[in-house]
A = this chain, B = another copy of it.
Amino acid sequence: MTIVEDATAGRRDRKKRQTRDALVSAALRLVAERGLDQVTVEEISEAADVSARTFFNYFSSKDEALVGDQAGDSERVLAVLATVPPEVPALEAFRLALTPMLEEMQADSALWLLRLKVVAQNPSLLPRLVAGSVETERMTTEALAARTGVGPDHGYPALVTAVTGAAFRVAIIRWSASGGSLPLTELVDEAFAAVAAGLPDPRSAA
Q: Which residues of A come within 8 Å of B, CB atoms? A: 89-91, 123-124, 126-127, 130-131, 148-150, 154-156, 158-160, 162-163, 165-167, 169-171, 173-174, 187, 190-191, 194-204
**Given A155-B190, A156-B202, 18 other A-B contacts at CB below 8 A?**
A123-B131, A148-B201, A148-B202, A154-B202, A155-B191, A156-B194, A158-B170, A158-B173, A159-B191, A162-B167, A162-B169, A163-B163, A163-B166, A163-B199, A166-B166, A195-B199, A196-B198, A198-B198
Q: Is the interface of A mostly helix, strand, loop or mixed?
A: helix
Q: How far is the CA of A158 from the CA of B190 in the complex (A)?
A: 13
The 3 closest A-B pairs by CB, nearest first: A162-B166, A166-B166, A123-B127
With a CB–CB cut-off of 8 A, which chain B residues contact A131? 123
| Residue in B91, B149, B159, B199 whose CB lies within 8 Å of A159 | B199
Q: Are A167 and B173 in contact (CB under 8 A)?
A: no
Q: Are B154 and A159 in contact (CB under 8 A)?
A: no
Nearest CB of chain B from residue A162's CB, rounded to whole Å: 4
